[in-house]
Amino acid sequence: MSARPARDVTRTLPERKRIALIAHDGKKEELLAWARRWKSILAAHDLLGTGTTARRVADTLGLPVEGLMSGPLGGDQQIGARITEQRLDLLIFFWDPFSPMPHDPDVKALLRLAALWNVPVACNAASADFMISSPYVAENYDINIPDAGEWIASRTRT
Ligand SMILES: O=C(CO)COP(=O)(O)O
């Protein structure tokens, strides 16, 4: 039995991407300024985010942003579930390196799932600039992800 799944299944990120926007309190103004700069591109995609961030981005940009639960109340885990279900295409998460938080385990879990499922992640304004200005943002883009079916089969074979 293998200790890790083979990463050999292709998933195609669609042209119209589902983009999660999340910022800790100490980084919210920075994320809002960033989102203002890229509004015309963000408008072409489906936006979602943790509760407070989503509301503030929606108010700032005047665009629809699906709001999940606030981060400390489980929103990071909801975003992680979207990743696991292959229903999220890009993650922009301005996490605050200066603020320990009660939901630090949730933050770590979200970043683990993004790494596991090969979802592009930007954790600060510079990486978000690079990500959102990539030609892949407006194109279909193939990523390799774990073969979940084979993983389960390998663990249930007798
Ligand atoms: O805490 C967060 C992410 O870990 C963000 O949550 P809010 O968007 O509700 O502030």
Distance 52 CA to ligand 1 centre (A): 6
Is 26 labelled a binding residue? no
Q: For residue 13, what pLDDT is reported?
A: 98
CA dihedral of 94, 98, 103, 105, whole degrees rounded to 10:
90
For the domain that residue 40 is a member of, what is the CATH number? 3.40.50.1380
Mutation probe of ligand 1 site: the residue of 21, 22, 60 with most atoms within 8 A of C-beta: 22
In a domain, 148, yes or no: yes
Quick count: other Cβ atoms within 10 Å of Cβ 136? 15
Half-sphere exposure of 91 (CA within 13 A, CB side): 27
| Beta bridge partners of residue 20, listed in sequence order | 48, 91
Overall domain count for the chain: 1
pLDDT band at 4 (very low <50, low <70, confident <90, very high): confident
Residues with CB under 6 A from ligand 1: 22, 24, 50-53, 70-72, 75-76, 103, 107
pLDDT at 2 over 70: no
Tell me the pLDDT tens digit for each residue of 88-140.
999 999 999 999 999 999 999 999 999 999 999 999 999 999 999 999 999 99
The residue with greater pLDDT, 73 or 157, is 73
Q: Which residues are catalytic?
A: 76
In a domain, 1, yes or no: no
State the ipTM, two decimals. 0.99
3-state per-residue secondary structure call for 44-74? CCEEEECHHHHHHHHHHHCCCEEECCCHHHC
In a domain, 4, yes or no: no
Q: For residue 1, what pLDDT is reported?
A: 58
Distance 98 CA to ligand 1 centre (A): 15
Atom of ligand 1 nearest to the CA of 73: 9
Identify the domain containing residue 123 by its residue range: 11-156
Round to whole Å and give the CA distance between 61 and 65.
9
In a domain, 103, yes or no: yes
DSSP 3-state helix, strand, coil percentages of the chain (rounded to 5)? 45, 20, 35
In a domain, 2, yes or no: no
Sign of CA dihedral 10, 15, 16, 21: positive
Distance 13 CA to ligand 1 centre (A): 25
pLDDT band at 7 (very low <50, low <70, confident <90, very high): confident
In a domain, 122, yes or no: yes
The closest of 91, 94, 78, 105 to 24, measured between CA atoms, is 94
In a domain, 71, yes or no: yes
In a domain, 3, yes or no: no
